[in-house]
Amino acid sequence: MTALRDFIERHPHLCVLTGAGVSTSAGIPDYRDEQGEWKRARPVEYRPFMTKPDVRQRYWSRSMVGWPFVARAQPTAAHRALARLATVRTLITQNVDGLHQAAGSRNVIDLHGRLNLVRCMECGHTLCRGEVQQVLLASNPQWADIEGRVAPDGDVDLDGRDYSDFIVPACPRCGGILKPDVVFFGETVPGERVTRAFAGVADADALLVVGSSLMVYSGFRFAEAAAAAGKPIAAINLGRTRADHLLALKVSEPCDAVLSALG
């Protein structure tokens, strides 16, 4: 803790990069174990979702059951501590739960989008996820009381279910495919977000990684950029990260406890 406090004090302009570990105590599971390996099957991928109706049935049925868990989630001690940390100039999050903003953080870059929005892939029309939830429930009342194990990407694991009778809503404006406004695996992060995130790293004195293994290149590239620019990197994360060889400091403890102890 002394070393971490010193790191923060010596770098008054911090860029913070967060991952699933900051939200686990809010009831939203993370993807990987302490060795950086998958805990469950990979999340839905972009191309199958866009091309296969049965994949969309599977996704939206699981999402309908899981959405209430995400909608009720509250900021954790880690979210609140980061919102209080005056040295944070830019906060890049790989999470899609919106909890950093709910905790009061400013200048947040939602690298992978937000789960509380849904976008039509044809006309670009956006809807609130809560509005889509009502349509899903009205169209599929037989699924309303189903329960499952909450998964990291805002849905639930429903092993062995038959999804063939699930009705997936279409865009109310054009009839196009509706997709949560998040970046699926195999999908490209919008260039504007990437540019802003790199600018946040360039503008900072140092990079602080919180609750991320950085196993996905989407986040790891910012650690690479910081290292290439000679900026020191610290990490608070349980277990291995892809950037361990780049770190000046690592605290292998739960995010909530470490960040709360900073005061």
**245 labelled catalytic:** no
Using CA atoms, how far apart are residues 150 and 153, in angstroms rounded to an integer? Answer: 9
Closest CA to 250 of 204, 216, 219, 209: 209
Q: Give burial (CB, 10 Å; 0-12/13-18/19+) of 148.
A: middle
Cβ atoms of 60 and 166 within 8 Å: the answer is yes
Query: Sheet harboring 249-251: ordered strands across?
Result: 108-110, 88-93, 14-18, 206-210, 233-236, 249-251
Return the structure tokens found at 226.
């910081």
Query: Of 11, 79, 112, 125, which residue is the catalytic one?
Result: 112
70's tokens:
């995400």
**Torsion angle, CA of 192/215/230/107, rounded to 10 degrees?**
40
Return the active site residues: 112
